A and B are shown apart, each in its own frame.
Chain A
Amino acid sequence: MIEGADRDLLARSMAHAVESSTGEALDVALGEVGWRDALVDDPRTAVSLLFELQGRTGASSSSLDLVLATGLGRDLAPVAAVVLPKMGGVEAPGRARGEALDADGIGTPGLARASTTIVVCETDGVVECRMVSTDLLTVRPISGLDPSLGLVRVTATDVPGTASPLPAGAWANGVALGQRAVAHELIGASRAMLALARDHAVERIQFDQPIAGFQAVRHRLADAHVAVETADAAIDAAWDDGSSLAAAAAKAIAGRSARLVARHAQQVLAGIGFTTEHPLHRYVTRVLVLDGLLGDARSLTRSLGGELLRARQLPAMLPL
């Protein structure tokens, strides 16, 4: 556990790194401030601090690779990357064909710089890890709603990879840790959108008074605040609980909350918030893409409901 003065110091140096750099420069800066070591010592502290900051500032990095690798129980050398599931999904991106494999997934910007990439394959219920030379993968930039994330589409057909065993449940652990990370980023971005809308409501004068005085505006912002606090409580509980189910629930809640906050913030910011002169638009498109990483709210929710209807009983709840 990283606590007290050590935590404050780490938080300060990380805040400086995230506020002053993004992309590859941020990956380098995070290495310098000891974030990678922190991730090994205390994943909860390292993940929650970094991804909240990324969400709040709009900076991006390739750290999700390291988070996933940590969840998989792999020591990720600085040169390696991990292929994420396809947009919206949580399934392992690879499929083994004997010694070779096929893959279809997403990569962070760091993938292009990695010499070796981890492709987790699930084939007829067997999950295994394959190390693939990155230059054998087809890597295309994703522009889409938020090109600034620098994500890439990764595909492969019949490429060789070195098999490397994975402990049981490793993929579910990796996904769960990644989901917690993305949930924090969604919450950070939600806080930023709410702050922008709140400040605008207090400053913007219409009908001779700040629009913050109108109940229609106040209640939108109140609902946005409730949504942020709800997602925040859920992610804390997901860490305390430690289960995959709780991580997926917290990710879905964070995704749904972020979309609600985006809608209310956009409406309160009105015309100016619809222009590229105002920063809101960057957060709006960012959260839409983040919602799709490692399972979007809709798929995660439907799959959870399906499990509950099959089991016909509630899972154990986090005790008081």
Chain B
Amino acid sequence: MELDEFRSTLDSWLDDHHDELAAHHDPHASLDDDMAHLSAVKRAAYDAGWMRWGWPERVGGLGGSSLLRAYLGEALASRDLVEPGIYSMTEVLAPTMIDYASPELAAEMVPRLLRGDETWCQGFSEPSTGSNLAALSCRAVRTDGGWRVNGQKVWTSLAQYAQRCVLLVRTGTPESAHRGISALFVDMDSPGISVRPLETMHGVEEFSEVFFDDVDVPDARMLGDEAQGWAVAMDLLPYERSTALWHRGAYLHQRFGRFLTDVPNGAVDASDVGEVFQQLFALRARSRTTQHRMHAGDPLGAETSVDKILLATTEQALYDLVLDGLAADLRVGAGSSADRWRSEYLYSRAATIYGGSAEIQRNIVARRLLGLGSDR
């Protein structure tokens, strides 16, 4: 399937099925509702085949370019059928499974994620190691036939909904830094796991603390080899800054379009509106290039930090404009539209924090792209 054909046939399918795919609740009002709606959309898109394009046949896909996945998420986000923050976890975690899980495990598990039967989470950050991922201390020790995990994760998105977790653990010595990390694919209903959701300032229990107390994980659930966890994480992060980011850009466009219809006359300066449009234009241009590089099979690496910096800057600029333009409505307005703008404004404050902070991204650019050497 070529992109043009995919685009036109998908567009007409979405037109025909809009009523059954559209949310019949206020988006962002309840994460439970958002998650249930997401599963329904993924299921419908999977059953109709759309969700399977761009994924290899050995994990239940129909093959074809990753551009097809990029367009599917764009089309869904542009029509306000999904919120990319929860939709695009698939883009981050499925490629990791395809690259690092045993073929049997990937074939068994990935279709469940694509079909919306399951939610997966990503256990990376810890209370004492946020940006300094290589210093993580959640520990796994060898047992007969597997690993026993003890420790804690935090900022684990959607953990309370998740059936599985891609978990980074320390299997080397405490001093082994990035060389002593392994990755495990853990069932979230394993005995010894407890999840405590954290309420965020935008009113959504999006992420959780996750505690591991003598959790047994079989050998077959190791992703890659022992001590290969850093490679797993480094391969995963660029995905977070490619297709998932393209989806988010499409969503921001859609919200900017909505803002242009909502904003009262004279509420904003034309210059500010023009600049946000240009930032969105540049973000789309950059991310589009990255999509085409991925399609061509180029390895993605440090240069995707540029995409992430651009996304975070653009997202905050957009919602700063929204705050100026919908000043009273956003601050004290009643109704679902005001609630949604409020929630999104507050969430945009985190754009420079999550997924590798703005400072970490700039450190990556300085070291890896500009060759400025170590900063220590």
Binds A, one of B102-110, B132-140, B155-163, B286-294: B286-294
**Does the CB pair B365–A225 fall under 8 Å?**
yes
Nearest A residue to B374 via CB reads A213
**Does the CB pair B373–A233 fall under 8 Å?**
no
The minimal Cβ–Cβ distance linking A122 to chain B, given in whole angstroms, is 22
**Does the CB pair A237–B284 fall under 8 Å?**
yes
**Does the CB pair B282–A218 fall under 8 Å?**
no
Nearest A residue to B367 via CB reads A218
Size bin of chain B's contact surface:
35 or more
A309 on the interface (CB 8 Å rule)?
A: yes
**Does the CB pair B363–A318 fall under 8 Å?**
no
The minimal Cβ–Cβ distance linking B72 to chain A, given in whole angstroms, is 11
**Does the CB pair B260–A313 fall under 8 Å?**
yes
A91 on the interface (CB 8 Å rule)?
A: no
**Does the CB pair A320–B306 fall under 8 Å?**
no
Nearest A residue to B313 via CB reads A226
Nearest A residue to B359 via CB reads A219
Contacts of B257 in A (CB 8 A): 313-314
**Does the CB pair A305–B273 fall under 8 Å?**
yes
**Does the CB pair B278–A304 fall under 8 Å?**
yes
A286-320 interface code vs B (CB 8 A; 1 in, 0 out): 00000000000010111111101101111001111
Given A225-B306, A301-B274, A304-B277, check contact A314 B260 (CB 8 Å): yes
Binds B, one of A51-59, A110-118, A167-175, A245-253: A245-253
**Does the CB pair A303–B274 fall under 8 Å?**
yes
**Does the CB pair A302–B285 fall under 8 Å?**
no
A164 on the interface (CB 8 Å rule)?
A: no
B3 on the interface (CB 8 Å rule)?
A: yes
Given A221-B370, A305-B277, A308-B260, check contact A320 B282 (CB 8 Å): no
Nearest B residue to A219 via CB reads B362
Nearest A residue to B273 via CB reads A305
Cβ-defined partner of B373 (8 Å) among A213, A237, A308: A213
Contacts of B261 in A (CB 8 A): 312-313
**Does the CB pair A308–B372 fall under 8 Å?**
no
B270-284 interface code vs A (CB 8 A; 1 in, 0 out): 111111011001101
Contacts of B282 in A (CB 8 A): 230-231, 233-234, 237, 253
CA distance A267 to B216 in the complex (A): 55
Shortest 9 CB-CB distances between A and B: which pairs? A305-B274, A237-B285, A305-B270, A305-B273, A218-B366, A301-B274, A233-B286, A304-B274, A222-B365
- Show 9 residue pairs from A and B whose CB-CB distance is below 8 angstroms, ordered by the A residue: A218-B367, A222-B365, A223-B362, A225-B365, A225-B369, A233-B286, A234-B282, A305-B272, A320-B70
Told that A305-B270, A313-B257 touch, could you supply 20 new A-B pairs with CB distance under 8 A? A198-B370, A213-B372, A218-B362, A218-B367, A218-B372, A222-B363, A222-B370, A223-B362, A229-B306, A230-B282, A237-B282, A302-B274, A303-B274, A305-B273, A309-B260, A309-B273, A311-B260, A312-B261, A314-B257, A320-B291
